[in-house]
């Protein structure tokens, strides 16, 4: 059998952030009653990965009457730009940038504030800030006083299983320092008046990244300090050192891949990939009647292998209690004991069963434990992965379990499997406003998982048969992207902003391309007549085929695209994977994963790119 992978079927409403519309169409003039003498605007960076950053402005009504709208203007130096934004309409004219409130956040009561955020490229800082035509610091003329300097890079001490102490050297400012904002990853976790902070409630054996920004007496924030990375002691069910350090390198092995694709567990060895992995997700177990269930009994534990097809070179016998993929995975673990294996349940086709599971999480967790830890293969599996597409949102079918359902299910699984087993989940990468990520409490559920596998692929594809053509796995936004928030950086930034630690996020790589036919335009954004032909399914093809059948003709937003004849494809290559692995390291993410083994070349060149990129 074949189980289809996930797709982004839903589409955002027409009110998407547009960075290319004329200024006159989007910018209104402030009335005298809304002059900047009654409000302030402060700027803060939330993250910085070298070639780009996350940032935002906070508008505070310091007056005695309500504001009905706001417009913030600033200048960036050449080479610095906004690439995607949320909670404001952001436009530009040269190096001058303007942000105007959305319909839902223009009104600000006295003493209240609103914020909007964005991702940017480059490294420059804003200047010449204006709020509703006046100064952003509430005085009569722009640009206001000088923001504070960057504090010193924090140093860490007293590192334990669950806490760390931080200290840093003071920032300077012409009007004095008021306080400091402390960031864990991109999430602000505290505001303190001194130059020390003790963080607590952390997860043992987990890596965290900290930075600090200063705020002056006019509430202006300055540039971020350097960052310090800290790994708590302990570890439990974590990944262990693995090859090339502690970054996760995880691949999905599909039970149905042994049939038409003829990709066997032994291929993981012969391709040279086994030595470059830390984890394998075996996909998929079924979710039905509120329980975990076998997905394909023949593939899972009944199919016998001859000596030439077996990992250990020994033929299976007809009467052995466990054969199939599970026994081959057992043999793989004997040869490569560093690899941990999780049984993944759900997937695109079987996610409809999670609704019943969420109705009784304890019963579901008990059934999963009984299956994963069945005495016949308890030595094979190190934990469980849940691939729910999507909690309280629509995938192949629509789920209405509620925002807390994912938290309840993962909490029950953690309670049943205990702290020594791995509990993980594959999650949406829909970073759009009001999208799938906003439908469930991913931050609350994160407390119960070792990590999330963020499915940062399939953003765009030929289910939109007429296009526009777009890369299915963009790392960042770009001018003309069909849907704001549908890119890797937006997804990662939004998870971190919601409070999910960066150290619990794995970035996803698709070992395949998505494509259209009837395309005449080389660059993304062209029209099409339908999906391009594929070996197993229209509109999708393995990397190992595309690398020679339709070689790369360009790159955009950190991934590649190819135009050959009338067909247009997008896919990742070793070079673009290298760039994405740099992003993983710069963001302090847990690691990377891929879908799935059989799309790679016979010598595992994509897995090699992940491995080398994370060292």
Q: Give domain status of residue 532, yes or no.
A: no
Per-residue model confidence (pLDDT) at position 100: 93
pLDDT of residue 6: 39
pLDDT of residue 515 exceeding 90, the answer is yes
Does 28 score more than 60 pLDDT?
no
Query: Is 391 inside any structural domain?
Result: no
Residue 537 catalytic?
no
pLDDT at 601: 97
CATH of the domain at 198: 2.60.40.10
Q: Is the pLDDT of residue 560 over 60?
A: yes
- 301 and 352 inside one domain: yes
pLDDT at 237 over 50: no
pLDDT at 244 over 80: no
| Model confidence pLDDT, tens digit, residues 84-116 | 888 899 999 888 889 999 888 888 888 888 999
Whether residue 80 lies inside any domain: the answer is yes
The pLDDT of residue 35 is 36
128 and 218 belong to one structural domain:
no
Mean pLDDT of 461-465: 96
Confidence tier at 10 by pLDDT (50, 70, 90): very low
Q: How confident is the model at residue 312 (pLDDT cuts 50, 70, 90)?
A: very high
* pLDDT confidence bin for 23, thresholds 50/70/90: very low
Helix (H) or strand (E) holding 542: strand 540-542
Q: The pTM is what? A: 0.65
117 and 186 co-located in one domain: no
Confidence (pLDDT) at 145: 59
Task: Identify the pLDDT of residue 13.
Answer: 31
Within a domain: 226: yes
Torsion sign over Cα 407, 409, 412, 413: negative
Domain for residue 544, yes or no? Answer: no
Least confident of 151-155, 235-239, 384-388: 235-239
Domain range spanning residue 217?
A: 155-231
Q: For the residues 180-184, what does the mean pLDDT come to?
A: 89
455 or 36: which carries more pLDDT confidence? Answer: 455
Residues 494 and 447 in one domain: yes
Domain membership of residue 568 (yes or no) is: no
pLDDT at position 16 is: 31
What's the rounded mean pLDDT across residues 350-372?
Answer: 97
Structural domain count of the chain: 3
Which of 34, 73, 331, 389 does the annotation list as catalytic? 389
**Does residue 551 lie in a domain region?**
no
Same-domain status, 357 and 467: yes
For residues 442 and 582, membership in a common domain is answered with yes
* 41 Rama sector, left if φ>0, alpha if ψ -120 to 50, beta otherwise: beta
User: Which pLDDT score is estimated for 350?
Assistant: 97
Secondary structure E strands in 2-104: 39-48, 52-61, 71-75, 81-86, 89-93, 96-100
* 211 touches 181 (CB < 8 A): no
Whole-number Å distance between alpha carbons of 487 and 458: 10
Percent residues over pLDDT 70 in the chain: 91
């Amino acid at each position: 059998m074949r189980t289809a992978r996930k797709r982004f079927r839903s589409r955002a409403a027409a009110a998407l952030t547009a960075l290319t519309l004329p200024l006159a169409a989007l910018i209104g003039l402030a009335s005298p009653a809304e002059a900047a003498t009654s409000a302030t605007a402060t700027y803060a960076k939330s993250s910085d990965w070298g070639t780009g950053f996350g940032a935002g402005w906070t508008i505070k009504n310091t007056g005695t009457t309500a504001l009905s709208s706001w417009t913030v203007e600033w200048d960036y130096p050449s080479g610095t730009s906004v690439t995607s934004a949320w909670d404001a309409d952001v436009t530009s004219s040269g190096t001058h940038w303007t942000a105007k409130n959305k319909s839902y956040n223009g009104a600000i009561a006295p003493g209240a504030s609103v914020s909007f955020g964005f991702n940017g490229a480059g490294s420059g800082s804003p200047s010449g800030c204006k709020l509703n035509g006046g100064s952003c610091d509430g005085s009569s003329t722009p640009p206001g006083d000088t923001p504070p300097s960057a504090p010193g890079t924090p140093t860490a001490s007293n590192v334990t299983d669950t806490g760390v102490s931080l200290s840093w050297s003071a920032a300077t400012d012409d009007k004095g320092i008021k306080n400091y904002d402390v960031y864990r990853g991109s999430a602000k976790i505290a505001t303190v008046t001194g130059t020390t902070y003790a963080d607590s409630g952390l997860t043992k054996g987990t890596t965290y990244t900290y930075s600090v920004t200063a705020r002056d007496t006019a509430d202006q924030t300055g540039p971020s300090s350097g960052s310090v990375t800290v790994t708590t002691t302990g570890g439990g069910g974590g990944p262990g050192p693995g090859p090339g350090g502690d970054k996760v390198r995880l691949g999905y092995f599909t039970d149905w891949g042994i049939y038409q694709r003829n990709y066997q567990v032994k291929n993981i060895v012969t391709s040279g990939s086994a030595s470059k992995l830390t984890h394998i997700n075996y996909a998929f177990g079924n979710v039905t009647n509120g329980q975990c269930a076998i997905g394909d009994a023949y593939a899972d534990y009944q199919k016998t292998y001859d000596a030439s097809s077996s990992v250990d070179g020994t033929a299976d016998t007809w009467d052995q209690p466990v054969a199939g993929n599970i026994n081959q995975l057992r043999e793989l673990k004997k040869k490569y004991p560093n690899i941990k294996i999780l049984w993944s349940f759900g997937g695109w086709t079987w996610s409809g069963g999670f609704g019943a599971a969420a109705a009784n999480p304890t019963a579901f967790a008990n059934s999963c434990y009984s299956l994963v830890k069945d005495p016949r293969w308890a030595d094979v599996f190190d934990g469980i992965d849940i691939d729910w597409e999507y909690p309280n949102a629509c995938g192949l079918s629509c789920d209405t379990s509620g925002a807390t359902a994912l938290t309840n299910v993962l909490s029950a699984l953690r309670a049943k499997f205990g702290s020594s087993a791995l509990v993980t989940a594959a999650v949406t990468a829909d970073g759009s406003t009001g999208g799938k990520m906003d439908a469930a409490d991913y931050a609350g559920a994160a407390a119960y998982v070792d990590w999330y596998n963020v499915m940062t692929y399939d953003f765009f594809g030929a289910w939109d048969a007429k296009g526009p053509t777009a890369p299915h796995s963009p790392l960042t936004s770009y001018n003309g992207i069909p849907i704001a928030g549908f890119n890797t950086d937006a997804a990662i930034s939004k998870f971190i902003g919601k409070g999910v630690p960066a150290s619990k996020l794995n970035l996803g790589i698709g070992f395949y391309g998505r494509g259209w036919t009837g395309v005449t335009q080389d660059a993304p954004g062209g029209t099409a007549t339908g999906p391009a032909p594929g070996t197993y399914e229209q509109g999708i093809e393995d990397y190992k085929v595309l690398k020679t059948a339709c070689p790369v003709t360009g790159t955009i937003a950190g991934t590649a695209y190819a135009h050959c004849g009338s067909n247009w494809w997008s896919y990742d290559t070793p070079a673009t994977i290298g760039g994405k692995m740099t992003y993983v390291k710069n963001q302090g993410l847990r690691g990377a994963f891929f879908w799935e083994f059989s799309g790679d070349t016979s010598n595992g060149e994509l897995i090699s790119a992940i491995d080398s990129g994370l060292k």
